[in-house]
Structure 1
Amino acid sequence: MGLISWLFDAQLVIGDQTVLWREIIGNLFGLVCALGGMRRKVWAWPVGIVGNLLLLTVFLGSVFNTPSAVTLLGQVGRQVMFIVVSVYGWVRWRQSRESNGVGVVPEWASPRQRALLVVALVGGTLVLTPVFRALGSYEPVWADAWIFTGSLLATYGMARGWVEFWLVWVAVDLVGVPLLVSAGFYASAFMYVFYGAFTLAGFFLWARMRRRDDAQTRLLEPPAVGVVSAPR
């Protein structure tokens, strides 16, 4: 109980700002998860789940009576969603490793899948904005809805092994930084800035792996043999 009590009470004071150590540690777990995901490590998923549980208590500020009494329902739902989808990703990546001995293989999403990602991101934001507003989420509510929807799609894309999931994270970070700063979650906002650069690096790394695999596949393919018609 001593560790749990410390996690709930410990704070870092920077000038006139107070940051919960739970927020810092939860985001560090998220960073380790992202690093593992970039390297296609199965352990990235359970590590991420631990960070999600910590951040869930942070964003329920009005429930846990933390220094910031703000409750970001999109961020709360985001952590719950992360846990659910992470279990799916954990199982899928373990199955991939058992089947090929390597793990998930990065793949480009098809044009149809890319279009569905864009439609789902915009449509999900439009649908959830009035719902979150009715539940009393922090303004601007559309930003909270955007972060929630984008996080869901990015996590699902990571579980499927789509290279484009990194770009969805970039879209989430661009909206998430100003929202978190305005709500007083400075540690999370700082991590979002770092994640923005990190996710771009992840995209280029996965894209390079995909191109390398495509080049190796072409080298292993037998040369095409032309069909010669018999003389008449």
Structure 2
Amino acid sequence: MNRPILIGTIGSVLLLLLPVQKWLPLEISFLEAIAVVTSAWSVWLLSRNNPWGWWIGLVGVVAYSWVFYQVRLYGEVGIQLFYLVTSLQAIYSWLRGGENHTEKPIARIPYRWIPWLVGILTVSVMGLRSLLIAMNGSAPFWDALTTVASAIAQLLLMQRYVESWYLWIGVDTIYVPLYASRGLYLTSFLYAIFWLLAIGGLQNFKRLYSAQKQEKPEA
């Protein structure tokens, strides 16, 4: 067992034991602990370009759907359901989305997409914010922004685009204080870890993309 897996296993066990510790000044639910552990493994595997991250992430998606519902972050509930569907699609896309149903290679998004993505992000955030205000959701703007940006990042990661990690870095930067403000301290800590993993994922995807370009230069 290599060092990252050993450290991750020990950390996972300790996190799952936190909800039963009476000395903690903070209340942590066992469901949140399960969501944190499975989500952490999922993001780590995906940052390593490992398709197993999608399968493990499905457990975290289901757990977090209920956790976020309990604290009235309804936009986050919606994004978890979105993750559920798109993760299943991503498994096929990563493994069979390339030429002749081979493994899909890492790619870069076309520059002409950027204005469209910015426009979709802006309009969608404003629309979702209005809906969340009507639903009496907490932190409607930040909830809407992170929800829409996460959805776009997920779609880009499904296609193994390098740029997906830039979005994840930005989203995780917002998530850390957002979740802490709602008493989800363990989840806030998790997203601080996600922020570091997203940086690692960006570097790894860039390296793999460069290696692909050297192996198969453009005509």
Normalising by structure 1, report the TM-score: 0.80
Aligned with residue 46 of structure 2, among 37, 49, 57: 37
Where does the alignment leave 5 or more consecutive residues of structure 1 unmatched? Answer: 1-6, 62-69, 222-232
Between 76-85 and 114-123, report the one with greater CA deviation.
114-123
Q: Number of paired residues?
A: 202
Residue in 2 that maps onto 1:193:
192
Call closer, same or farther: CA 1:15–1:38 in 2, change over 3 Å.
Answer: closer
Show the 5 A alignment for 1:9-88. 15-61=24-70, 70-88=71-89
**Matches of 2:184 and 2:20, distance apart in 1:** 13
**Matches of 1:13 and 1:197, distance apart in 2:** 30
Call closer, same or farther: CA 1:124–1:43 in 2, change over 3 Å.
Answer: same
C-alpha contact 1:125 1:142 (8 A) present in aligned 2: yes
**Matches of 2:117 and 2:32, distance apart in 1:** 29
Where does the alignment leave 5 or more consecutive residues of structure 2 unmatched? Answer: 1-15
- CA offsets per residue over residues 120-154 of structure 1, 9 Å max, x none? 22222111101011111112x11000111111111
Letter in 1 for 2:37: L
RMSD: 2.1
**Matches of 1:12 and 1:152, distance apart in 2:** 35
C-alpha contact 1:12 1:21 (8 A) present in aligned 2: no
Larger RCO: Structure 1 or Structure 2 (Cα < 8 Å, ≥ 6 residues apart)? 2
> Aligned with 1:111: secondary structure?
coil
Q: CA deviation at 1:202?
A: 0.5
**Matches of 1:183 and 1:208, distance apart in 2:** 37
The structure number with the bigger radius of gyration is 1
Normalising by structure 2, report the TM-score: 0.84
Q: CA deviation at 1:57?
A: 1.3
1:122 partnered with 2:103: no
C-alpha contact 2:108 2:162 (8 A) present in aligned 1: yes
